[in-house]
Amino acid sequence: MKDGATRDGYGACLEEIGADPRIVVLDAGVSDSTRSKKFGDKYPDRFFNMGISEGDMVCTAAGLATTGKVAFATSFACFLLGRTMDQTLVSVAYSNTNVKLVGTHSGLAVGEDGPTAQMIVDLAYTRAIPNMTVIQPADYEEAVQATQALVDHVGPAYMRLGRPKVKGIYDSSYKFQIGKGNVVKQGQDVVIFATGGMVQESLEAMKVLEADNINPTLVNISTLKPIDSQLIVEQARRNGAVVTAEDHNIIGGLADAVLEVMSDNDVSVPFRRIGVRDTFAETGSLKELYFKYGLSAQHIENTVRSLLK
């Protein structure tokens, strides 16, 4: 298991798979921070730094994809989607081009960058777009494997990555699959469906809960679209209560995706949501923001306890 930010796993994988001549990488002037620079340093003839011109970057990626290239278009999530909705809808999704949109520095986890950089609506955006696959890896290893999987996946995709370093959850024996969730730990009292960095927060909460003989199940939902409906239904029924945890607005993200699956399959169990409650946050450290806006391990712990009562 390797500790590290998911953006670091992405950069390392790009460098590793770059020998494939089909792969091209584009960035919008932040390649050092997104880690796409690793690919650019090694394969400069297939790396395009488009500057602060995200719409042009997405359209160029779509054009390259029509020539048979596997195009990774990368920037901070707030810029990548906030400035390119028309290009993403038309040139990528509607045209069904083989473009992989990779948004880093997502959620409240960007902390001190402030509310204009805290992208908390990108999962809602991309889940609602036809033809779009939506992925959010939980750790370094899963980010490496998800990047590799996107090379083989044909069609539009959005991958959401984080800035903070997180503890390793998986080693190389783990096999990421698009469309499949993963049971990180099987319990019996309640199931926590978490995504991205909130998998780590959930693990911290579980340490305290287990000391009091409360044994949650933790499921990593790393593909939000297509979501693993079978696993969600199975674990919701098996555990009898559900908590979702995401660094995203509670509207349109993981919580809604899980609720949609439960509703479609007539699963009715107690349910609680951990996430940003439809508000813009402030500037602060990750720890401060997670605590103030209800995303911390302590909030997950308290939510589980109240739900079981």
| pLDDT over 90 at 30, yes or no | yes
Q: Of 67, 25, 71, nearest to 44 (Cα)?
A: 25
Rounded to 5 degrees, φ, ψ at 159 are -115, 125
SS3 197: coil
Based on the residue annotation, tell me whether 201 is a catalytic residue of this protein.
no
What's the mean pLDDT when you consider all of the chain? 97
- Percent with pLDDT over 70 in the chain: 100
Within the chain, how many helices (H) and strands (E) appear?
13, 12
Question: Which pLDDT does position 307 carry in this prediction?
Answer: 95
Sign of CA dihedral 154, 25, 8, 283: negative
Q: 67-76, 109-118, 299-308 — which is least confidently predicted?
A: 109-118
d(CA 118, CA 103): 12
Residues 254-291: pLDDT tens digits?
Answer: 999 999 999 999 999 999 999 999 999 999 999 999 99
Q: Which residues contact 36 (CB under 8 A, 6 or more apart)?
A: 10, 11, 14, 25, 27, 47, 72, 74, 102
DSSP state letters, 131-183: T-EEE--SSHHHHHHHHHHHHH--S-EEEE--SS-B-----TT----TT--EE
Active-site hit among 54, 141, 201, 246: 54
| Mean pLDDT value across residues 230-254 | 98
Euclidean distance between CA atoms 177 and 26, whole angstroms: 25
Residues 82 and 225: their CA atoms lie apart, in Å, by: 20
CA 53 to chain centroid, in Å, comes to 24
Please state, in angstroms and as integers, the Cα–Cα distance from residue 48 to each residue in 73, 202, 217, 244, following that order.
Answer: 9, 38, 43, 38
Across the beta sheet with 242-249, the strand order is: 182-185, 217-220, 191-194, 242-249, 271-276
What the chain holds in terms of domains, given with CATH numbers, is 6-160 (3.40.50.970), 182-308 (3.40.50.920)
Task: Kindly list the distances between the CA atom of residue 6 and the CA atoms of 13, 62, 145, 251, in Å, as whole numbers in the listed order.
Answer: 11, 25, 11, 24
User: 121 and 252 in contact (C-beta within 8 Å)?
Assistant: yes
Q: What is the pLDDT of residues 110-151, one digit of tens each?
A: 989 999 999 999 999 999 999 999 999 999 999 999 999 999
Mean pLDDT to the nearest integer, 50-73? 97
Task: Using a pLDDT cut of 90, give the percent of the chain over it.
Answer: 99
Across the range 45-61, mean pLDDT stands at 97
Q: Which position has the token pair 């693993």?
A: 228
If DSSP codes are grouped into helix, strand and coil, which group holds residue 37? helix
d(CA 232, CA 12): 31
| Confidence tier at 309 by pLDDT (50, 70, 90) | confident
Whole-number Å distance between alpha carbons of 1 and 3: 7
The confidence band for 1, taking pLDDT boundaries of 50, 70 and 90, is: confident
Mean local confidence (pLDDT), 95-100: 98
